[in-house]
Amino acid sequence: MNKIKLFSGEQIPMEMHKVKIVQKIQLAPTSKRLEALREAGFNTFLLKNRDVFLDMLTDSGVNAMSDAQQAAMMLADDSYAGSQTFGRLEQKCQEIFGKRHFLPAHQGRACENLLAKVLVRPGSVVITNYHFTTTKAHIVLNGGTVVEAFIPEALQTTSSHPFKGNMDLEKLEAAIAEYGAHRIAFVRMEAGANLIGGQPFSLANLAAVRNICRRHGLVLVLDASLLADNLHFIKEREAECRGMSVREITRGIADLVDVIYFSARKLGCSRGGGICTDRADLFGALRELLPLYEGFLTYGGMSVREMEAIAVGLEETMDEDMISQCPQFTAFMVEELARRGVPVVTPPGGLGCHINAREFLDHVPQEQYPAGALAAALYLISGIRGMERGTMSEARDAEGNEVFADLELLRLAVPRRVYTLSQLTYAVDRITWLYAHRRLVGGLKFVEEPKTLRFFLGRLAPLSDWPERLAEAFERDYAQL
């Protein structure tokens, strides 16, 4: 099911599931939200969930499980070694991805740690369609550097390019020529490229990347954490794939790559992660590290319940009704906001709605973290928690200088099967009000700045009393309604 047509001619996305279990949420008053924001050092990561109304921070580990997943969790076979649960998960991964070997890991970044330890050496280079924060951190930690080979449209916030996550083949060839194949640890394709707004690659582009890798003897790694969204977009936007089933497209992708790893906090709507490969040499090297960092080979840091949920979740991912939900609800938000003149990333991607903070707050310079300021401002006036995806999410260089992000985005994730259309309509309304009052929002500065992944735990302060003035304006306007 894609969209439902209404008699008015309008189309709306439709939930192809019904609610069986609910969690009560509450909307704290503005004054309480201002207090909570101060306590959190103006960093939405540090807010307490009890003060949050709609948690759109991430789609990681917060997707709604199905009844079938919950039922499977009850059948989990608890044992340190050789559990039947592991056998079921291994078999499901083998069936869906067609790779012989499966290694469990406690989440996506654990897979990245293992892969970087095995493949990256000091001086190594990893070429990617776009980096992800934790991936880059692991590569750098092992002495490597990341070379981005994105297409020009990737950084154009408004575009009609259907596959902004494609790799630029000329840049890939040029990087191989510049560094030499021997220095390239691997080429990494990220499905639903997270940091540019959940933007997909096409199957045709992946095939072309594969051909280049094969010619130069390079390992091709797929980060499949956001594969579900990418599958939906391939089916919807790539004419050659329209007649293929989701399962066929998945196998088409898997057959082109040497290694697949994923965060099951996203893919399969559960927790945990894993690595799949046919390469016996890589499998052997990774397997040696697994008991050291993750746990025994048949659980890898996951509970058996999580593993059962992944096995069922991966199977559910092969269903178009399931994988279209997040992209379509995202598209609803993007289209409604764009109609109201709010600068959003287009075309809509997966994962969630992305607001272009650089344009939204064009009076806040990059060194004052416009995307972080926008995240704080939106929470203050709505109780909605989004995530900064801009300069705050970058690390300073070796000399301590700011590295400005290519894009300053506020990400409003749409966790799968969680929020309803009325909740997204509320979000659209409050963002629209904020856009009309954007000049009231000012910048932020760090007051506590961790060296690694500073966006998680860093504390900031506003550069003026803008939060108080914004809260007053909001209260005044909505009190009149």
Shortest separation between residue 135's beta carbon and ligand F0G, angstroms: 6
121, amino acid identity: R
Catalytic residue among 385, 389, 411, 454: 389
**Catalytic entry in 59, 223, 229, 258:** 223
Examine the residue annotation and report whether 455 is marked as an active-site residue of this protein: yes
294 is a site residue for ligand F0G (CB under 6 A) = no
Closest approach of ligand F0G to the CB of residue 472, in Å: 32
Locate 179 and state its tokens.
Answer: 């560094």
Q: Under the criterion CB under 6 A, does residue 354 sit at the interface with ligand F0G?
A: no
> Under the criterion CB under 6 A, does residue 132 sit at the interface with ligand F0G?
yes
Nearer to ligand F0G, 162 or 268 (CB): 268
The yes or no reply on residue 108 touching ligand F0G (CB under 6 A) is yes
Structure-token pair, residue 170: 């000329």
Interior angle at CA 89, CA 330 and CA 231, nearest 5: 30
Nearest Cα neighbor of 390 from 377, 363, 371 is 371
Of positions 104, 268, 273, 462, contacts ligand F0G by CB under 6 A: 273
What are the tokens at 197?
């707004």
* 165, 193 Cβ separation under 8 angstroms: yes
Instruction: Out of 33, 88, 101, 109, point to the residue binding ligand F0G (CB under 6 A).
Output: 109
Instruction: Give the binding range for ligand F0G (CB under 6 A) out of 17-25, 117-125, 132-140, 371-379.
Output: 132-140
132 as an active site residue: the answer is: yes
What's the CA gap between 387 and 370, in Å, rounded?
12
429 is catalytic: no
Q: Is residue 353 a contact partner of residue 412, using CB atoms and an 8 Å limit?
A: yes
The residues in 207-246 that bind ligand F0G, with binding defined as CB under 6 A, are: 223, 225-226
Does residue 347 have a cis bond before it (omega within 30 degrees)? yes
Residues linked to residue 223 through DSSP beta bridges, in sequence order:
190, 261
Residue 266 among the catalytic residues: yes
Q: Assess contact for 252 and 203: CB atoms under 8 A.
A: yes
Place of tokens 């929470």: 379
Per-residue string for binding with ligand F0G, 171-190, x by CB under 6 A? -------------------x
Q: How far is the CB of 413 from ligand F0G (least distance, A)?
A: 7
Catalytic residue list contains 130: no
Q: How far is the CB of 362 from ligand F0G (least distance, A)?
A: 26
- Tell the smallest beta-carbon distance from residue 437 to ligand F0G (Å): 28
Length of the chain: 481
Minimal distance in Å, beta carbon 129 to ligand F0G? 11
**Residue 476 annotated to the active site:** no
Q: Which of 97, 132, 201, 426 is catalytic?
A: 132
Q: Which of 134, 159, 149 is CA-nearest to residue 205?
A: 149
Contacts of 382 (CB under 8 A, 6+ apart): 53, 54, 426, 427, 430, 431, 434
Element (H, E) at 38: helix 30-39
Q: Is 389 a catalytic residue?
A: yes
Q: Which residues of the chain form contacts with ligand F0G (CB under 6 A)?
A: 58, 60, 107-109, 132, 134-135, 190, 194, 223, 225-226, 263, 265, 273
Q: Which residues are catalytic?
A: 80, 132-133, 223, 266, 389, 455
